[in-house]
Structure 1
Amino acid sequence: MSNYATRRRALLWEDRASENALSDQLATLQEDIANRPLLPIVRQRGELATAAAAAVAPLDAARGTCASADTEVDATLDNYKAALSRLLVEADELRMATTWALTTEILTTEQMVEMLAAGKHLYLSVHDWCRRRKGAAGALQQLNGPSAGTADNTSAAVTRNP
């Protein structure tokens, strides 16, 4: 087996191992989101809402508890957001390391140029698609007015992902 094929196979196995590790981390994060501490907080808020509906006097106490629960939920979601952000950074680093290894160790110069040109074409196509979609969402919003919920949601989604 040639050195090229050996390195290609090794890169494939390294990538699979790294991808599996990232997938495991993401699965753990998703399980943590579902299990704790959000689930008990949501249950507690449901119980407080039920109690508040039963009597007006406990309503003020329930509001105070709900406010502290909201703070706890916000803090928990911030932790999950930070963990997810770290996972995305690790995934980007894996993609960059794989691309670097592919271009410097495996591909010929001609193949490297073709890959980079295809990557640039993909980038420009996605950028153009986002620009057209954002323009269409803006035009739809002008036609329907600012109260059209779907145009605002679409425009916001496109703005976050240019």
Structure 2
Amino acid sequence: MLMRLAPLFATRHGAKLMYPKVLLALCGIIFLAYGIVCWVDPEIPAQQAGLFIATHNGYAEMAAMYGGLQGSFGAILIASAFIKGYVRPGLWLILICIGTLAAARGSVALSDLDSSFQVANSSLGIDMSSSFTAYTWGALAFEVFVAVWAGISLLKTR
């Protein structure tokens, strides 16, 4: 199946733009799908992030920011993968938007990381703990990976 999709991402430059287009398309699908789910049921992102929606305004805000904004972001990334001349702007969009998400999330999550080192009997013990859940660490890992991939792609597609 992947071989059938390869021509969709091919350009006159060959594989040079294939991987950036794959990044744009995959991220676009992820953000569009997540946006639709969050628009339909704002409780999903709220529960995952540990938020409580107290009023109807809160539901509208969650649907708009997690549903509408992320869905439209995904649609823009998908379009960037397929419209000539939009690959680099799409990569810049990922690098800036997702990179700053990672920076903000990481600055808070990593500041809460409690680590201790113990040296006893010629052995080193390292203990790390955090009150953040897999949701935060998973989102941070995804954001860092995607932003780095976009940055590398920008360097390779000059």
**Bin for the TM-score computed over the shorter chain:** under 0.3
TM-score (norm 1): 0.27
**TM-score normalised over the length of structure 2:** 0.28
**More strand by percentage:** 2
Structure index of larger Rg = 1
